[in-house]
Each structure stands twice: as C-alpha cells, then as structure tokens.
Chain A
Amino acid sequence: MKIVFQKPKALSAGRFHYCPGCTHGIIHRLVAEVIDELEIRERTVGIASVGCSVLAYNYFNVDMIQAAHGRAPAVATGVKRVLPESVVFTYQGDGDLASIGIAEAIHAAARGERVTVIFVNNTCYGMTGGQMAPTTLVGQVTTTSPRGREAMHSGYPVRVPEMLATLQGAAYLSRVSVHNPVQVKRAKEAVKRAFITQLKGLGFSLVEVLSTCPTNWGLSPVEALKWLEENMIPQFPLGELKITEGVA
C-alpha cells in the first residue's frame, strides 16, 4: 500500500502537551515537514524557548537546546558561529521574543545572523496563565489587564516583523496565520522560505505565526480561530514584509 500521509521524520513519536485547540501542534508539524522536505534533519539544531513551547525539545526529532527566557536568538548565534554548516532555528512565543527577549531578537536580526526564528504570537503569556503580553490587543482582557489593555497605561501591541524590517541584516520577514487550511498552506510556504534564506546564507529570517490560545482566551477552539481572524489580523496584517533578493 502506498503511504500518502505520515508523521514527519523531524517530529518524535509521542503526544503533545498542548491544550485542545491550540495551534502549536500545527506549527510544529509545518516546521517538521519543511525540515524533512529540505533534507536537513541531521544538521539541524533547534532552540526551544521558555513558555508553552518549552517542551519543543521533546517534540522535534533533531538536536535541541532549551534556552533561558528570551535568550534563544543569542543561543542560536553561539551554535551557528561554531557550526556554520548547521541549520539553526528558534521556536519562541510572544512573551519570550517580544518582551524579555526583544533585544536578543533585534540584535540577531541586525547582525544578519544566519538563523531562522519561528515566532508564535497568541497575544498572551499562555504557560503562566494568560497574562498580558507585548502583543496583547488594546482592549483585550487578560489576567493582568482585567479591564482590557489600556493604551494610555500599557501602550500598544508590538509588531515584530515590521520593526525588524528596518534592519539591513534581516533577509526574510513574514507574518502568517494558521486559522484555516489556506492560511496553513501559506504558513508552510513562509516557513520554507525562511529556512531557504538561511541555507542560502542570506541573513536573518523570521516568520511570525498568529496562533490561538483557547484556554486563556476562554473560547472554544472554533471560536478562537474566528477571534484570531477577526481581531488579530487587523492588528497584525498577514504577508511578506521583506524578501531579500535570492530567496526562492
């Protein structure tokens, strides 16, 4: 019998710990499929962040490092400078990358570090119970913005790829979503382009993936996908923000 669909080699056997309806599972799979398709599994080193995706080191079937909160791009830099022929990616949430680790992300991009960042944005700190993140929408209720995020008090959501787009070292910057099958397909194309950017040595690449957090948003999985589409996309427009010449 011909196999038409199976688990990617770059994903380990075993069950994810993610909540029902969380899109981390989809994003993990996309990254793993891209690693398989590019045939880079045996030279890839992944960096897991702190937060819900901290256990990514158990899920990706590649060499993995668990980094301190926000520091994944610095750890990735250390690996890549020692092993320039390796393929290095970080997998970071919005609390990790856009808040505590913003400096490491900006400077890795400014240096044109040949690494790929998968930046999962669900507008809250999922692991610690749904607190306000730098990406939380104005008016969005979280456990630390119980009256809704007030711009005059807590400022505005951070648009990471737009911010990095001014940096010459950033070679590929994209924002995608995984709220429906068409977008999932586009997300995979973006992840693949990001890895190709690295393989071609063109510079820093980052894909922001809009993701859901049904548990902390207090919504069903289906409602969460709808909330993402209606509320997040206007604030975080989808599309490729920067493509350096030579990215396929």
Chain B
Amino acid sequence: MTRRLMKGNEAIGAAALAAGCRYFFGYPITPQTELPEYLARRLPEAGGVFLQAESEIAAINMVYGAAAAGARVMTSSSSPGISLKTEGISYLAAAELPCVIVNIMRGGPGLGGIQPAQSDYFQATKGGGHGDYRIIVLAPASVQEIIDLTRLAFELADLYRNPVMILGDGLLGQMMEAVEFNEEDDKGNRPIPKTWATTGCKGRKKNIINSLYLDPAELEQHNLHLQEKYREIVQKEQRAEEYLTRDAEIITVAFGTAARIVKEAVVSARARGIKVGLLRPITLWPFPENALKRSLQRARAILTVEMNAGQMVEDVKLAVEGKVPVYFYGRTGGILPDSRTVLKEIQRVGGYDYEDSLSKAESLVGG
C-alpha cells in the first residue's frame, strides 16, 4: 500500500485509470481542469485515448459512442458544462449505456462563479435532462473517498448498465490530502462481458443501441423496465456514513465538503454535551432514506446543511415524513458554511441556550 499526497481532481483520474477506464472525452472548465490535464498525460501511456472535444455536447456524445462500443469511459465537467451534457445523459440513461460522469460543482445559476458549491443537487438527482430517468450519484467527502468511489462508480455503471455521476465540489477537486492508493486493489475489477455492445456483428446478429420507441406501448414497457432497474438500485445501493447518530437527539444531514464542516460542529457540540450526530449521504441517488429513517427513533429534530439554497432538504423531508421538524442551513455563491455557525444552528434547532455557550464553542472550534 502506497501513501501519497494527491489532489482531488487528479485522484479521480488515477482511480479511473486503475479501474480500467481507458477513454476520456472532455472539455476544459474550472474547477475540474486538472482531471482532463492529468488524463491527457496518463491515458496515452496506458494505451488509452484522451480526446479534448469541441464542446461538452460533443464530449458526452463521444462517451455515448465509446460506451456503445463496450469501453469503460469517463467524462468530467463543472456545473455549466454539465448543463450542456444533460441531453447526452438522458440518451445514455435511455439507451442503458454505462459510463462515469464527474461533476466538480461551482456556484450558479448561469455562469455563476468558480468557487465550490452544491447547487447542482437537483440536476444530478432529479434527472436534469428530459424524461423519466435516474443516474446513480456518488458524493465523496475526501480525496481518499474520491478514489474509493471512482472505483465503485465504474463497477456500478457496468453492473446496472447505467450512467454514474461522481458529484464533488471545487474544494474537493482542488484540495490535496494524503491517501492510501494501490493500483493492485483494482486487479479484480474487470469489465463484465458486454454482449449488447455495437462492436461489429461478426459471428452474431446485429446489435442496436437506441432510445427511440415510436409505439407508446413499447415506450411504456421500456420505461417500466428502467423503473424496475431503478427500484433494484434503491434497494441495494443506498450508502451513508452514520457518525454518532445512535443516541443522537439532533441529526444533521450533509454531504461532501459541507459534511466535513458539519462534522467539526458535531464534535464541538458533543464536547458541550449536546447529543447530535451526522448522517452523511454517500449515494445522493439513491438517497439513503433507510439510514435516515433508522435515526429517527431517537431524534427530535433534523438539521440539513448544504452549500446551496436548500435542495437535498427536500429528500430529507420526504424520508422524515413529517415525524420530526426539519431545519435547513445553507450558504450559496461559493461561500462555505462555517462550523461555528453550524454549531449555533444545532443549538438553535435543539432548543439549547446557544447565546450562553457560543463563546465557549468558539474556543472549541478555533474561533
């Protein structure tokens, strides 16, 4: 096992390479550009292809072609670029083509800014493009987890013949952390045979990759088939980290970078005797509602913290089903929540005397 210092964006590239990804099609956009730059260097050495497309639209359609040809393939972008890719993502989902799509989010809407945000949660988890479809969305919170989830992303994509998105933010993409990374771990991770791929029809009947169903009954059958697959994913693939939730009276819910900040606040609150825990969704779709429901046995309030104006909080409310009050705290524009304010919010929603304890809390979290 090698211990290395790696940058988030480059860690995605290294992990993808180790997972057997040999094709990347992308277009530069801040703050994810180190990922295509890394693969531009590394993929040709590994016998693969890095191609800079003329647009995000072309890039995702190159992914469509490469996935149809049976390859492990990836693209990456950041928020406005993902908007351009959504046409292709809808087609990939409809045609059941496995691929990995990375979104290193920045602030929006529109051109927004280049600082980290989580404001593409709706777009990632509710479809984004047209039609009834779902993609699996994985939300790492550290560079180590980026490596682990990139590996998982390729496995899940092949297993379910479905696009998988790695949803991080600019901070995760840009930060450097020490990681345990060993390419040997991926030796057993080999693509499963893709008998459906369009590779030339030698020795078999022709294959067709298609998403057109002009007969409404046929289209409904296709949609029912997709929904059946999505139900299976909801059953089998929910993932979450539960931190001090067992005895918690207050449950905080946060993902990615926001969860790191919230964790700091949870530690401070615990030091003050406040029974608070953190539920960190690792899969944003499927949303880990089972874990959240379990935590409701003791909880009397939920606080969702996000780097947006309140998006995941809707899924939290759906899972909570009105059993306890759900509160929201968020920052937008590329501004991070700070743990001191989160601590104050924890105390507020829990009905604690936060005015009195704030000065002590400040010293705990370093001011």
Contacts and interface: CB of A to CB of B under 8 A. Distances in A.
Interface stretch (B11-19, B69-77, B299-307): B69-77
A71 B57 contact: yes
Interface string B35-76: 000000000000001010111011101111111111101000
A72 B244 CA distance: 51
A86 interface: yes
Interface residues of B, number: 39
Contacts of B58: 71, 74, 77, 103-104, 107
Contacts of B207: 63-64
B212 interface: yes
Nearest to B51: A81
Contacts of A43: 200, 202
Kindly state the interface size class of chain A when it binds its partner. Answer: 35 or more
Interface string B190-216: 000000001111110011111110000
A83 interface: yes
Contact of A65 (B63, B65, B88): B65
A64 B65 contact: no
Contact of B69 (A45, A67, A71): A45
Nearest to A17: B214
B208 A78 contact: no
Contacts of A182: none
A41 B88 CA distance: 28
A79 B73 CA distance: 11
A63 B67 contact: no
Contacts of A140: none
A183 B300 CA distance: 80
Nearest to A48: B210
Contacts of A68: 61, 64, 87-88, 91
Contacts of A104: 54, 57-58, 61
A30 B318 CA distance: 57
A71 to B, nearest CB: 4
Contacts of B88: 68, 71
A47 B54 CA distance: 19
A63 B210 CA distance: 11
Interface of A: 12, 41-45, 47, 54-55, 57-58, 61-68, 71, 74-83, 86, 103-104, 106-107
16 contacts: A12-B206, A55-B212, A57-B210, A62-B206, A63-B201, A63-B207, A64-B206, A67-B65, A68-B61, A75-B61, A75-B62, A78-B61, A78-B63, A82-B49, A82-B65, A82-B70
Interface of B: 23, 25, 49, 51, 53-55, 57-59, 61-71, 73, 87-88, 91, 95, 198-203, 206-212
